[in-house]
Amino acid sequence: MTLLLPGARPADQPWLVYEDATLRDQPALHVLIAGVSAYPHLPGFGAPPTEAGLGMRQLSSTALSAYLMLDWLLRAAAEQRLCRPLGSVRMLLSPQVAEADATEQPAGRFVAPPVDELLLPGCTLPAFVAAAAAWRDSAKRHPDGATLFYFAGHGIQRTRGDQVLLMEEFGRGGPLALQAVDVGTLRNGMAPYAGDGHSSSARPGIARTQFYFVDACRNTPSRVLSLEDLRATPVFDVERSDLIDDRQAPVFYASIPAGVAQAVPGQQTLFSIALLRCLGGDAAEAPDHSAEGRRAAQWHVSSFSLQKGLAMRMTEVNRQYGGQQAIIADGFTGNAVLCYLPDRPVVPFEVLIEPDQAVPCTRIVVRDDRDPATAREIPAAGARFAVPTPPLRAGYYHFSAVVQPPTPPYQDCPGEPYLVEPLRPRVWKARMSA
């Protein structure tokens, strides 16, 4: 697939980086990605905070996290793993110089072109609102289509459950509403609406599968508490409902109400790390044999599996990077598939030998229930955790632990069939004593 570089984009849509015209009237996935790290009116690292900036500073990982979302999307589309063929991608990016430089990597690391080659418009408020309107127009083409929205940057909340996204020009002064958008109007403005059937706002056939990922803080700066009527710019006018809102449109927030989103400075947000792991298979669920089509035959990542998987992977990411972040999801009305896997996912798995003193005399044997002839030993290597090499793919396995040579008071642990999959505990315990 070929991206639209600056000279090939429509003059009125400089953010349109991909469009497949052959899918215009077909069910397709339409994407809007925005990332802001460079806030020119906010102080840099170590500089004193400003009143207009509500105490916030420049960021260093959010624009790169948005770029990595684009990179995953292009890979998944090329491998035909998305829930729908990729119809269009619109993207706004306000990166730091170091983030742009990080995308200039040796061939093979990224499939997306470097940021300096993409030359994307910055995520200003006018650009965001215009790009969102064009994104919605694409989504109106077929009810069986799908949409994906991802934002990474600064955010705040005004009241519990609220979410406001801060655009590139935030911090320059003036009413906050001039540089902030309301997530609620974004999602609500994507609901089905009949109207009079002729106005440009009518969208009875809008895509009914929608995914929203909001990678931003939801805390309330102290100055916000003193403001009587803090407003944000609506992304869309939200009409009174005249059609049943039958969308499957979950929203995945990188932070809980009053919480903060964290990052590895200069690299990635913690939410981005967890999300991309999930999309790569760490939130995959088994084929649903009661369903039809690909869902019945392939492992896949769905809204329900993402909700569970993101919580699990975030716990691991927090442990790995010293974070204290919690995610929350909302808006579930069904279990929509976002992407498929080409094979059973690889699952990092361990066998825990108890007690420690039994490790030297314990042999671990694992057998794939799909092929009993493939029994192999997992070396403990003198540690209480034994790690299968090569790693296990999801499925049923039979683990057993044998004391060899016989060493009282330890005894064999015959085990039983165990389901290894991403959304289950990734350890089997071999208890070698009665």
User: Of 309, 340, 371, which residue constitutes the final position of a domain?
Assistant: 340
What are the pLDDT digits (tens) for 353-363?
999 999 999 99
Same domain for 47 and 130? yes
pLDDT tens digits for 81-106? 999 999 999 999 999 999 999 999 77
Task: Measure the CA–CA gap between 318 and 217, rounded to whole angstroms.
Answer: 16
Instruction: List phi, psi (to 5°) of 7.
Output: -70, -15
Torsion over CA: 69, 75, 78, 83 (sign): negative
Q: Do 367 and 335 share a structural domain?
A: no
282 and 363 share one domain = no
Asked whether residue 225 carries a pLDDT value surpassing 60, the answer given is: no
Q: Is residue 197 part of a domain?
A: yes
pLDDT digits (tens, 9 = 90+) for 399-409: 999 998 989 99
Q: How far apart (Å, rounded) are the C-alpha atoms in residues 261 and 249?
A: 22
Indicate if 417 and 365 belong to the same structural domain.
yes
Q: How far is the C-alpha of 375 from the C-alpha of 369, rounded, in Å?
A: 9
The answer to whether residue 53 scores a pLDDT higher than 70 is yes
Kind plus residue range of the DSSP H or E element containing 88: strand 86-94
Dump pLDDT digits (tens) for 178-224: 899 999 999 999 999 998 766 788 999 999 999 999 999 998 877 67
In terms of Cα–Cα distance, which of 350, 360, 374, 331 is closest to 432?
A: 360
Asked if residues 6 and 18 have their Cβ atoms less than 8 Å apart, the reply is no
Does residue 224 belong to any structural domain of this protein?
Answer: yes
Q: Is there a domain that residue 320 lies in?
A: yes
Kindly indicate the confidence band of residue 175, based on its pLDDT and cuts at 50, 70 and 90. confident
How sure is the predictor about 384, in pLDDT bands with cuts at 50, 70 and 90?
confident
Q: Are residues 288 and 371 in the same domain?
A: no
Q: For residues 311 and 94, give the distance between their C-alpha atoms in angstroms, rounded to a whole number.
A: 28
Pick from 281, 313, 340: which residue ends a domain?
340
pLDDT of 396 over the 60 cut: yes
Q: Strand, helix or coil at 23?
A: helix
Does an H or E element contain 77, and which? helix 62-78
- Full residue range of the structural domain in which residue 104 is found: 6-340
> Which pLDDT band, with edges at 50, 70 and 90, does 431 fall under?
very high
What tokens were used for 125?
A: 């408020």
Mean pLDDT, all residues of the chain: 92
Which whole number is the average pLDDT over 326-347? Answer: 95
Residues 398, 308: one domain?
no
Segment 334-343 mean pLDDT: 96
The secondary structure of 179-242 as a DSSP string is GEEEHHHHHHTTS-B-TTSSSTT-BTT--SEEEEEEES-----HHHHT-SS---EESS--PPP-
Question: For residue 134, is it within any domain?
Answer: yes
- How many structural domains is the chain composed of? 2
Same domain? 356 vs 240: no
**Backbone φ and ψ of 180, nearest 5°:** -140, 145
Where among 289, 319, 340 does a domain terminate? 340
Burial 126-155 (b: 16+ CB within 10 A, else e): ebbbbbbebbbebbbbbbebbbbbbbbbbb
Same structural domain, 148 and 201: yes
Tell me which amino acid residue 257 is: P
Question: Per the domain annotation, does 1 fall within a domain?
Answer: no
* CATH code for the domain of 181: 3.40.50.1460
Chain segment 265-304, per-residue pLDDT in tens: 999 999 999 999 999 999 999 999 999 999 999 999 999 9
**Residue 308 CB partners (closer than 8 Å, separation 6+):** 283, 423
